[in-house]
Amino acid sequence: MQYRFPEQFWWGSASSAAQAEGASLQGGKAPTIWDHWFEQSPNRFHQQIGPAQTSGFYEHFRDDIRLLKQLGHNSFRTSIAWSRLIPAGRGEPNPQAVAFYDAMLDELKAEGIEPFICLFHFDMPMSMQALGGWESREVIEAYAEFAETSFRLFGGKVKHWFTFNEPIVPVEGGYLYDFHYPNVVDFRRAATVAYHTMLAHAMAVQRYRELGQDGQIGIILNLTPSYPRSQHPADLKAAKIADLMFNRSFLDPAVKGEYPAELVELLREYDQLPACEPGDAALLAAGKIDLLGVNYYQPRRVKARSHAVNPASPFMPEWFFDYYEMPGRKMNPHRGWEIYEQGIYDILINLRDHYGNIPSYISENGMGVEGEARFKGEDGQIQDDYRIGFIRDHLIWLHKGLSEGCQCRGYHLWTFIDNWSWSNAYKNRYGFIELELESQTRRIKKSGQWFATAARENGFD
């Protein structure tokens, strides 16, 4: 076999509570920002499909876990919804939620599938947003309590925990670029949200360590390598600042327990530093992780700005760079994102050389396709050879990283079944399994069959 992977390599896929569970206001669950935002502005959501219309994992989890088994999975990531487990945000857990998550974890165990559980996947409870969301220190405390409750309830069954999924995304979406609630545009507030998220992360790690459970804790970051247009110093500087703002702002505190000095200096220079309190630095230092989840979709290509910044304009990351469309770059024709498989290798090499070769795994990678039903074959199965090629090519670069000493322990596709997504709803289909939304029927795509074989054989030719 040409590409053989290490024993115990994690083959699987990822999902999240808000995108798959459905039952968004049932079983005692309280609303999240998404329920609220959909009610307020349904037109922001593709075809006005909101978070209640999902693949119904809350109801169908047993069938879905059987399908995961058919997909050859030995591991699977999903999240616990804070607003389901603790509907008031703080206080007593909801017994229906405890029963659901217990049953889901038992089912995974019965099928021999290792659960990877994330504690926050963009789904801020509305009750907590009303307190200020991540701008509020009270919410940090509340989140740490929720994390501790989860560890105590499920720590016997879960050995891989993640505090956050892509914490930069609520910062960008909610406070810089207007695609998540509370849709404001304000860099200083964004910086506070980013900072408080990492304090919350560190507090959860600290609680986990205090409990002394037998397992690992980490965070999931969407690392987007920043490539400069050229080796000209101005382009190199532009790429470096983009990297500091979008990657190292989370990667450094998570792995090294502190922020990069250059980032702190930059924000200080522009008077954008969030307020710190005594004890924050020690808390951040206590938040070092055991395991890093890496979500990788596409790179960031940047160049030096071609026009000077208007100093009267609101401070934004783009004060320091422009985006650059590299000629000849390979695009996903079905979604408009660049495909650059080598990015996965570059990330792993960076972790090896600059982050102590921290154990990692690819926690998301995937290909969104609009109008995927047109690729159905005569028998009705989606013939997604493009996705097979995409996964295979990324795995080949991952494999090369392994052969050069990187500690990457697995690969999870985004996602196992076509799911609801933040305002895009079902426009971009990513799953190994096709979901027919109206009838809720499921059908494994060709890529799912390919992956099952690769997973069972632990490699491919």
* Rg of the chain on CA atoms, in Å: 21
Which of 16, 78, 149, 150 contacts ligand BGP by CB under 6 A? Answer: 16
**φ/ψ of residue 168, rounded to 5:** -70, -25
Binding mask 358-377 for ligand BGP (x = CB under 6 A): ------x---x---------
Stretch that binds ligand BGP, among 76-84, 161-169, 280-288, 451-459 (CB under 6 A): 161-169
Residue 414 within binding range of ligand BGP, rule CB under 6 A = yes
Of all residues in the shown chain, the one whose CB is closest to ligand BGP is 421
The amino acid sitting at 132 is G
- Outline where 135-279 has alpha helix (H): 137-154, 168-175, 187-211, 233-243, 249-256, 261-269
Binding mask 246-285 for ligand BGP (x = CB under 6 A): ----------------------------------------
Please, which of residues 65-104 interact with ligand BGP by CB under 6 A? none
- Outline where 302-445 has alpha helix (H): 342-354, 385-403
Q: Say how far apart CA 114 and CA 412 lie, in whole Å.
A: 12
**DSSP secondary structure code for residue 215 in this structure:** S
**Residues 13-22 as b or e (16 or more Cβ within 10 Å = b):** bbbbbbbbbb
Q: Say how far apart CA 383 and CA 387 lie, in whole Å.
A: 9
Q: Say how far apart CA 374 and CA 428 lie, in whole Å.
A: 13
Residue 424 within binding range of ligand BGP, rule CB under 6 A = yes
Pick 52 or 264: Cβ nearer ligand BGP: 52
Residue 175 within binding range of ligand BGP, rule CB under 6 A = no
3-state helix, strand, coil in the chain (%, to 5): 45, 15, 40
Total residue length of the chain: 461
- Quote the tokens at residue 361: 């795994």
Pick 129 or 298: Cβ nearer ligand BGP: 298
Binding mask 318-357 for ligand BGP (x = CB under 6 A): ----------------------------------------
Q: Which of 114, 135, 148, 364 is catalytic?
A: 364
Residue 421 within binding range of ligand BGP, rule CB under 6 A = yes
* Smallest distance, ligand BGP to C-beta of residue 177, A: 13
**DSSP secondary structure code for residue 356 in this structure:** T
Please, which of residues 284-303 interact with ligand BGP by CB under 6 A? 295
Residue 53 within binding range of ligand BGP, rule CB under 6 A = no
- CA distance to 68, 149, 167, 245, per residue, from 225 (Å): 31, 35, 16, 12
Residue 213 within binding range of ligand BGP, rule CB under 6 A = no
* Smallest distance, ligand BGP to C-beta of residue 5, A: 24
> Is-catalytic flag, 364?
yes
* Smallest distance, ligand BGP to C-beta of residue 142, A: 22
Q: Assess contact for 175 and 141: CB atoms under 8 A.
A: no
Number of residues this chain uses to bind ligand BGP (CB under 6 A): 14
Residues designated catalytic: 364
Q: Which residues bind ligand BGP (CB under 6 A)?
A: 16, 19, 165-166, 169, 222, 295, 364, 368, 414, 421-422, 424, 428
